[in-house]
Amino acid sequence: MSRRESRGSRGVNRELEDMRRQMEAEMKEMEEKMRTAAKIMVLKERDIWQQDREQLLEENRSLQKQLSIMKEDNRNLQTDLQKANEEREQQEEKIISLHKRLLTLEKIYSTALFTCSGLKRECEVAEEEKMREQLIISLQQSLSARQQGSERVRGLYLQCEKSSGFETVEDEWRRKDTKRVELKKGQAHTRAHVDTLAELTETQSALKQNQLSCVAVEEKLQTLLAEKEERFRKELSGTEQRFRQQLSKQGRRFKKELSEKTGEKKENDSSCEHNCLRVLLTHN
């Protein structure tokens, strides 16, 4: 009985040993398969990671290139902005120069106007003096003529008292003829005086017309300068505003593109890190 039990236990032990060996073999085979699968997965993940890495490096190089282009564009924009500022300064200097020239012209015009007023006053004074002299000369001539006429009349009167008949009529005729000649001379002096007054009035009118012309020219010059300055200021302000708007738009576009590229790079980096961690965890 005991022998039979020992034989049965030995058979069970053999079966258990065989099962253990079989299980160990299966375990080894499974471990080998798992190792092989893990190696294959690691190699695949490594290839994928390598591809992602190459892609990220390529994108990084592209971003670096775009960043270099953006920096170059920024430098060009800074150069253009500096040129625009220099041009604006030059235009401001031109405006200042025009203001100085305008002030100089105003001074010259004021001086010329003052000189013209002085010359006009001198002409008026000279004309007044001339008129006085002519009037004095005319009065002196008239007085002298009257004195001479009085002397002639007195002489004729005395001769008339001394003589009679034919001689008295002849003297009377001579006296009348002398009066007629003196009257003609007086009329001639009067006409000359009237002509002189007319010439003086015409001269004064011409001087006044010249003065009005000078004032009109000055007003026209000031209006033209003001319009030109205002038009130049508007053009300069519009150019500066358009340039600033263009610069602002380009800056916003560059920042947006750089932000988008940076976001994509961060997403790719996080995805790559996640894949690497997953591969390492799978390998372990």
Secondary structure in 3-state letters for 31-54: HHHHHHHHHHHHHHHHHHHHHHHH
- The confidence score (pLDDT) of residue 204 equals 66
Of 73-87, 149-163, 211-225, 244-258, the poorest mean pLDDT is in 149-163
Q: How many CB atoms lie within 10 A of CB 262?
A: 12
Each residue of 171-229: pLDDT tens digit?
A: 666 666 676 666 666 666 666 656 666 666 676 676 677 667 766 777 777 777 778 77
Least Cα distance to 282 among 49, 47, 45, 48 occurs for 45
Tokens of 250: 């380009």
- The confidence score (pLDDT) of residue 21 equals 83
Each residue of 83-92: pLDDT tens digit?
A: 888 888 887 8
Query: Is the per-residue pLDDT at 156 higher than 70?
Result: no
Least Cα distance to 196 among 121, 148, 131 occurs for 131
Query: Is the per-residue pLDDT at 254 higher than 50?
Result: yes
- The confidence score (pLDDT) of residue 274 equals 53
- The confidence score (pLDDT) of residue 165 equals 44
Tokens of 232: 């130049």
Query: Is the per-residue pLDDT at 257 higher than 80?
Result: no
Length of the chain: 284
Give the pLDDT band of residue 139 (cuts 50, 70, 90). low
Give the pLDDT band of residue 164 (cuts 50, 70, 90). very low
- The confidence score (pLDDT) of residue 279 equals 46
| Separation of alpha carbons 14 and 229, rounded Å | 117
Query: Is the per-residue pLDDT at 278 higher than 60?
Result: no
| Separation of alpha carbons 15 and 22, rounded Å | 10
Of 42-46, 210-214, 258-262, which one has max mean pLDDT?
42-46
Give the pLDDT band of residue 6 (cuts 50, 70, 90). low
Question: What's the chain's average pLDDT?
Answer: 72
pLDDT greater at residue 263 or residue 250: 250
| Separation of alpha carbons 196 and 145, rounded Å | 21
Distance set, CA 57 to CA 43, 69, 251, 277, 281 (Å):
20, 18, 26, 20, 25
Q: Which residue has the tokens 């590229």?
A: 261
Work out the average pLDDT over 229-249: 74
Of 117-121, 133-137, 157-161, 232-236, the poorest mean pLDDT is in 157-161
- The confidence score (pLDDT) of residue 154 equals 63
Query: Is the per-residue pLDDT at 46 higher than 60?
Result: yes
pLDDT greater at residue 202 or residue 267: 202
